[in-house]
Amino acid sequence: MRKIAVELKWPDRTALTRSDFERAFESDYGRQVGATLRTQYRMAPPIGELVSACFYPVPLAPGRGDPAPWYDHLPERIRSIVTWIDTSDAGREAHDRPKSPGFDNGYEAREIINLLRSICTGGNFIQALMHNSAEDEKPIGVICMYAEQERLLVRLLSEQDWATGYRRLIKIDTVDSYQGKENRIIIVATTRNNPRFEQGFLSSRERVNVAISRAMDRLVIVGAARMWRERHQASPLGRVLAHIEQHRDAGRYALVQASSIEEGKT
């Protein structure tokens, strides 16, 4: 189905990507008998507010409070509840690479691996996370918009010596496999970044909504903000970026540079 959607030249591919539940809910019968829940209990309030503002006509009420205080031991650059890590200033090095089918992005993948390393080797935080997680729980999830990016990340993670004791904590999967799942920390790999400003699957409201709403306590989006700041402002990820930038002064949302860009400035 994804391959068909890529090959079709339709400006709107939602006819192929909408779920059966969505079709039923929006049918004549669904409009008569359907009901929408107005309170969400999964997401920390800032994540819920982001999802609500970008994807729902009626605001969702928070049914839970902020994450536990030990989340304050996360690395400083992702201490906000919602963080966008911007790869724009890396230039061509951070462009996506066409595959067959789909795309991957080596720069973004390395940034995510570095982020996972900083989380897992951070001492106090990872000990608290492991202590408060069920034995069979994977508290850290990486959601990829493209299967090729998932494959690249899985391979890179398998090559990391530091990851030996932490792989059981990390789930890496595609957005299409994440419906109905959740993790305490979600990292979203956007992948797309190119001079033609082609956003591909990220034009899908449903996919972006699923990706960011799987997060319970922390949401980190990794990608080139220029893709949605300079173009596609009205697209799903454009609205997400705009909400983060408009509310980051409140301290719960942040926009930071990719780690290698920050290191180059010091």
For 85-108, how does the pLDDT look when each residue is reduced to its tens digit (9 = 90+)?
Answer: 999 999 999 999 999 889 999 999
Q: Which two tokens stand for residue 232?
A: 């596609």
Low-confidence winner among 5-14, 28-37, 116-125 (lowest mean pLDDT): 5-14
Q: Indicate whether 27 and 113 sit together in one domain.
A: no
Q: Indicate whether 124 and 226 sit together in one domain.
A: yes
Q: Indicate whether 75 and 205 sit together in one domain.
A: yes
172 closest CA partner among 201, 134, 208, 214 = 214
Q: Read off the pLDDT band of 21 (50, 70, 90).
A: very low
**How wide is the angle at C-alpha 127 spanned by C-alphas 72 and 131, nearest 5°?**
105
User: How many other CB atoms are found less than 10 A from the CB of residue 131?
Assistant: 8
Q: Which of 99-103, 220-224, 246-250 has the highest mean pLDDT?
A: 220-224
For residue 20, pLDDT beyond 70: no
For residue 12, pLDDT beyond 60: no
pLDDT score for 1: 46
Q: Indicate whether 112 and 21 sit together in one domain.
A: no
Low-confidence winner among 2-6, 46-50, 152-156, 175-179 (lowest mean pLDDT): 2-6
User: CA separation (Å) from 25 to 20, 103, 244?
Assistant: 9, 32, 30
Q: What is the reported pTM?
A: 0.86
Separation of alpha carbons 69 and 164, rounded Å: 27
Q: Indicate whether 52 and 163 sit together in one domain.
A: yes
Q: Indicate whether 187 and 208 sit together in one domain.
A: yes
Q: Which two tokens stand for residue 264?
A: 């180059």
Q: Indicate whether 176 and 79 sit together in one domain.
A: yes
pLDDT score for 59: 77
- For residues 70 and 153, the answer to whether their CB atoms sit within 8 Å is no
Tell me, what CATH number does 166's domain have?
3.40.50.300
pLDDT score for 266: 46
For residue 17, pLDDT beyond 60: no
Domain tally for the chain?
2
Q: Indicate whether 1 and 56 sit together in one domain.
A: no
Low-confidence winner among 28-32, 86-90, 122-126 (lowest mean pLDDT): 28-32
Q: Indicate whether 13 and 76 sit together in one domain.
A: no
pLDDT score for 61: 82
Residue 199, classified by CB atoms within 10 Å of its CB into exposed (0-12), middle (13-18) or buried (19+), is buried
pLDDT score for 2: 47
Q: Indicate whether 152 and 227 sit together in one domain.
A: yes
Q: Read off the pLDDT band of 29 (50, 70, 90).
A: low
For residue 191, pLDDT beyond 90: yes
229 closest CA partner among 43, 29, 121, 84 = 84
- For residues 105 and 96, the answer to whether their CB atoms sit within 8 Å is yes
Whole-angstrom distance between the N-terminal and C-terminal Cα of the chain? Answer: 46
Q: Indicate whether 28 and 65 sit together in one domain.
A: no
Mean of the per-residue pLDDT values of the chain: 88
Average pLDDT on 184-205 reads 96
Q: Indicate whether 17 and 55 sit together in one domain.
A: no
Q: Read off the pLDDT band of 179 (50, 70, 90).
A: confident
Boundaries of domain holding 7: 1-35
140 closest CA partner among 163, 161, 165, 167 = 167
67 cis-preceded (ω within 30 degrees of 0): no
pLDDT score for 263: 66
Amino acid at 223: G
Spell 145-171 as b/e; 16+ CB within 10 A means b.
bbbbbbbbbbebbeeeeebeebbebbb
For residue 34, pLDDT beyond 60: no
- For residues 214 and 181, the answer to whether their CB atoms sit within 8 Å is yes
Residue 188, classified by CB atoms within 10 Å of its CB into exposed (0-12), middle (13-18) or buried (19+), is buried
